Chain A
Amino acid sequence: MITLNINGKEEKLDAPEDMPILWALRDIVHLTGTKFGCGMAQCGACTVHLDGQPIRSCVTPIAAAVGKKITTIEDIQNDKVGQAVQAAWQEVDVVQCGYCQSGQIMAATALLTTNKNPTDADIDAAMSGNICRCGTYPRIRAAIHEAASKLA
């Protein structure tokens, strides 16, 4: 048994230590907001926060999360920055198919937590690991600027 702290709750999991956090979240705890896209940290759909840092949960084993706090899309509205990011996403009407957006929002929240006023180049650097096949990139960029202005 492994104990993980997920969104502030202690969860006991009967799972192998090498199971990626993604599958523990999705298939054991049934928190399905975090998405599977590539399985090799290439697309960012699985992005969650581990002690506030954005990580690709598809390649991070649960053993690496013991004693740390996992935050997922389901709980990000309880974070001041996360809430502003979600509000900006709604204001700009970013989403299309929506599948990558949990990961985009988690990545954007992490960016704005450490960089209050990111430039376009900062956004390129922080967000280029998150693929959106619908091409919502211009709106993601606009929403990040919008959230930054609301948080200022």
Chain B
Amino acid sequence: MTAPLNISRRTFIKATALVVGGLVIAFNIPNAKRFLLPGAAPEKSGADAAKLPAPNAFLRIGTDNTITAMLAHSEMGQSIWTTLPMLIAEELDADWSKIKVEHAKAAPEYIHTAYGIQITGGSSTTWSEFDRYRQAGALTRALLVAAAAAELGVPADSLRTENGFVISGDKKISYGELAEAAAKLETPKAVTLKQPQDWKIIGKATKRLDGPEKINGTAVFGQDIHFDGLRTAMVAHAPVFGGKVKSFDASAAKKVKGVENVVQVPTGVAVIANNYWSAKQGRDALKVEWDLGANAGLDSAKMLEEYRGMAAKEGLPAAKAGDTGAALSKAAKMVEAEYVLPYLAHSPMEPLNCAVKIGADGCEIWTGTQMQGTDQQAAAKILGLKPEQVQIHTMFLGGGFGRRANPAADFVSEAVQVAKAAGVPVKTVWSREDDVKGGYYRPMFLHKAKVGLDADGMPVAWEHVEVGQSIMLGTPFEAFQIKDGVDATSVEGVADSAYLKSVPNHHVSLHTVKASIPVLWWRSVGHSHSGFAMESLIDELAHAAGKDPLEYRRALLKGHPRHLAALNLAAEKADWGKPLAKGVFRGIAVHESFGSFVAHVAEVSVNKGAVKVHRVVCAIDCGLSVNPDSLKAQMESSISFGLGAALQSEITFKDGMVQQSNFHDYKVMRMADMPKVEVHIVPSTEKMGGVGEPAVPPVAPAVTNAIFAATGKRIRTLPIGNQLA
């Protein structure tokens, strides 16, 4: 196909000569797509916007034949370090062994094609970049071919490309040799992309490009940044959210060998030392008197009781059809249930950290971030700089799961404040305890549902009330995500559920709780609770109707072929309905999120109250799979993440304080609990969806539905913990 480049996602492409030689391809996003944060510089005019920071590039060909792909998104385990270069290499006919990868800087040309800010999230990287990175490859190839045609004095259409060379009969010219000449040529107005049947790389299982350096210890994460003069800082945070420093005594801290300075910052008191151990000991020795503020009485158990009270009444409407009240009163059978999900910490393996060096006319930041856009603007605001004076070096992220994409730019802002107050380059390092207690949790949610069934056991009336904190409230995303008081991410997976489309009378409403606990998107966002509520409830309805849970879902999902494709594939591969080993039982769940459809069948036994998940069979329809092996890895990853949380994880509050502190009491998945995982991909040419998150929501209900099959006990509160003991 010939893609008119200014139509697809309204992307402009231009080629720019790079000062160091070679060829650079850049894309400029029109200003209309830009997303402005409060306090940011006003929107620039088109003329100003053309002066983009250098090197504004997605792809660089060196005269040594290396091809460097610049990632607009952050590698945090999801393998875009490999997937995005695959898109370039496919169209470029590149030599895969010559591919190198870099994180791009924070700059307007790397703004997300759909979200309008530089961000990695929403399981969106591959689908949102599918056109842009292929076009970069195709455009570069066209320029190299044109340069070769000029050099050889032959028509461009007589040339072909293969494995990093332009070929004319028995002559071959490498891309590296052509790069400088190609950089001087005028950019084509359009490029022809390959037809899927001609793909050699897209759709093929491809090994990770970042594998070797992550196996031999040379991969550089934010935590590993070191340069002469860089100090380590640890900040003492208030034990209660919103608490303030009343006074502090740094005399003992300053006696610790290696401690150089102690400074107050807006988030607490920072101890600056020449190594972590000294900073930690200094912080332990620091005496701070806190004004705990209004949240000193915070208690999550009491909050849950308040949530229950609120759920007794209708909230703000999120979805409605028919007359639910009247239909409920006429129903042949009624099912009522309440589901409760706790606060959860992301707890990426790499504790949060951020290195900052403030210079005379700018600032450099080294960190693993999912959201360079807001981080850059927050740092600029603190320092009185323009955003382009703040250079962000994105390092490998030791896990993100949403925690490193914070609209409040919390860990970056704090590091900038410390560096500013201390007057030296500083790397702030959070301890694991700082991370577990530091907020920005998946919010606690309560779902209360009342469903009326007809004489055949099918739902005819569905009343659903949710209670929980809003993630988007008070963020720059509020205007887009909150409509008529309802945060779309609070009710996603319920209000837009495929099941409700077959229920003639339904009413979904939301009570948004204004609590002071910082909350954030946690891998799969609202679906992380709605998937559990909906798929548990459907299972309860099937049981009440006396029907097989798979057949019941099939009946309700008629007209939803992608749900059915995933559901049927998982059921078939798991031998649904066939006997299992003694004591082992199956549960099933299917959920749509982030444009993809995932079903799991879990095989579970319960022995003296202990739950053992033996195997999870997963099927996904995400449309095209660019790298089937990294897709499979994301399914394994999501099953581990979702199952670990379902089995054991929760953050609770008492007397204003978080009661957990480290991995001994904030428990996560470990090897011994990990089931066998089998992944099956639905062959699909449907619209591309994401793969990083959509397999998380159906894990917990597949397991608790299996627990119900095994024991007759319905788990309605997560984590499962010792509820079966």
Q: Which residues of A contact B (CB under 8 A)?
A: 16, 19-20, 23, 26-28, 30-40, 42-43, 45, 72-74, 77, 86, 89-90, 93-102, 105, 123-125, 127-141
- Which stretch from B141-149, B211-219, B238-246, B262-270 is at the chain A interface? B211-219
Verify A131–B668 contact, CB threshold 8 A: yes
| Set of chain B residues within 8 Å of A16, measured between Cβ atoms | 257, 277
Nearest B residue to A74 by beta-carbon distance? Answer: B217
What's the nearest-Cβ distance from chain A to residue B125, in Å? 14
User: Is A86's CB under 8 angstroms from B216's CB?
Assistant: yes
CB-CB under 8 A for A96 and B432, given A33-B216, A137-B674: no
Q: Are A97 and B399 in contact (CB under 8 A)?
A: yes
Tell whether A42 pairs with B662 under 8 Å between CB atoms, given A27-B232, A33-B217, A98-B77: yes
Contact indicator A96/B226 (Cβ below 8 Å): no
Q: A19-B277, A96-B79 are in contact. Are A30 and B226 (CB under 8 A)?
A: yes
Q: Is B676 an interface residue (CB 8 A)?
A: yes
Q: Report which residue of B217, B431, B433 has the largest number of chain A beta carbons within 10 angstroms of its beta carbon.
A: B217
Taking a contact as CB atoms under 8 Å apart, the answer to whether B663 and A131 are in contact is: yes
| Residues A90 and B211 in contact, CB atoms below 8 Å apart | yes
B residues with a Cβ closer than 8 A to A are 75-79, 207-208, 210-221, 223-224, 226, 232, 257, 274-277, 280, 347-351, 396-401, 429, 431-433, 629, 633, 636-641, 644, 662-664, 668-672, 674, 676-677
Nearest Cβ in chain A — how far from B665, in angstroms? 10
Contacts of A131 in B (CB 8 A): 349, 663, 668-670
Interface centre among B226, B351, B677 (most CB of A within 10 A): B351
Which of chain A's residues have a CB closer than 8 A to the CB of B214? 95, 98, 101
For A37, the closest partner residue in chain B by CB is B349
Known pairs A96-B77, A123-B671, A124-B672 / 12 extra A-B pairs, C-beta < 8 Å: A28-B275, A32-B223, A32-B226, A39-B432, A42-B662, A90-B212, A93-B207, A95-B211, A101-B215, A133-B348, A134-B77, A138-B677
How far is it, in angstroms, between the C-alpha of A101 and the C-alpha of B432 when the chains are bound?
18
Q: Which of A20, A86, A127 contacts B671 (CB 8 A)?
A: A127
Residues of B within 8 A of A86 (CB): 215-216
B226: A residues at CB distance < 8 A: 30, 32
Do the beta carbons of B663 and A36 come within 8 Å of each other?
no
Q: How many angstroms from the CA of A128 to the CA of B172 in the assembled complex?
A: 54
Q: Which residues of chain A come closer than 8 Å to B669, judged between CB atoms?
A: 131, 135, 137
Contact B671 A124 (CB under 8 A): yes
Kindly list chain A residues whose C-beta atoms are within 8 Å of the C-beta of B350. Answer: 35, 37, 97, 99
Known: A73-B216, A101-B215. A135 touches B640 (CB 8 A): yes
Contact of B662 among A38, A89, A97, A124 (CB under 8 A): A38
- Chain B positions within 8 Å of A31 at CB level: 217
Contact A133 B664 (CB under 8 A): no
Q: Could you say which residues of chain B place their CB within 8 Å of the CB of A74?
A: 216-218
Docked CA distance A73–B219 (Å):
12
Contact B636 A138 (CB under 8 A): yes
Set of chain B residues within 8 Å of A132, measured between Cβ atoms: 349, 640
Indicate if the CB atoms of B276 and A23 lie closer than 8 Å. Answer: yes
Name the contact of B432 in the complex, choosing from A26, A37, A99 (C-beta under 8 A).
A37
User: From B644, which residue of chain A is reached at the shortest CB distance?
Assistant: A135
Q: Is the CB of B633 within 8 A of A139?
A: yes
> Separation in Å of the B303 CB from the closest CB of chain A?
27
A93 to B401, alpha carbons, bound, how many Å?
21
* Closest B residue by C-beta to A45: B349
The residue among A27, A86, A127 with the most chain B CB atoms within 10 A of its own CB is A27
Contacts of A89 in B (CB 8 A): 211, 215
Known interface pairs A134-B637, A135-B639; A128-B671 also in contact (CB < 8 Å) = yes
Asked if A134 and B215 sit within 8 Å, CB to CB, the answer is: no
B400 CB contacts on chain A under 8 angstroms? 97
Chain A residues lying within 8 Å of B210, measured Cβ to Cβ, are: 95, 98
Closest residue of chain A to B663, judged by CB?
A: A42
A128-B672, A135-B638 in contact; A100/B208 too (CB < 8 A)? Answer: no
Q: Which of A95, A130, A134, A141 has the most CB of B within 10 A?
A: A134
Instruction: Please indicate the chain A residues that have their CB under 8 angstroms from the CB of B397 in the complex.
Output: 97
In the complex, residue of chain B having the shortest beta-carbon distance to the beta carbon of A105: B215
Q: Which residue of A lies closest to B226 (CB)?
A: A30
Closest 8 interchain pairs by CB?
A: A33-B217, A135-B640, A99-B398, A98-B214, A97-B77, A96-B77, A73-B217, A27-B275
Bound-state CA distance A126–B549 (Å) is 38
- Cα of A17 to Cα of B669 in the assembled complex, Å: 34
Contacting pair A35 B636 (CB below 8 A): no
Contacts of A102 in B (CB 8 A): 217
With most chain B CB atoms within 10 A of its CB, the pick from A32, A132, A138, A139 is A138
Q: Is B276 within 8 A of A26, CB to CB? A: yes
Which A residue's beta carbon lies closest to that of B661?
A: A40
A142: min CB distance to chain B, Å: 10
- Do B671 and A90 have beta carbons less than 8 Å apart? no
B277 touching A20, Cβ below 8 Å: yes
How far, in Å, is B441 (CB) from chain A's closest CB? 15
CA distance A5 to B207 in the complex (A): 36
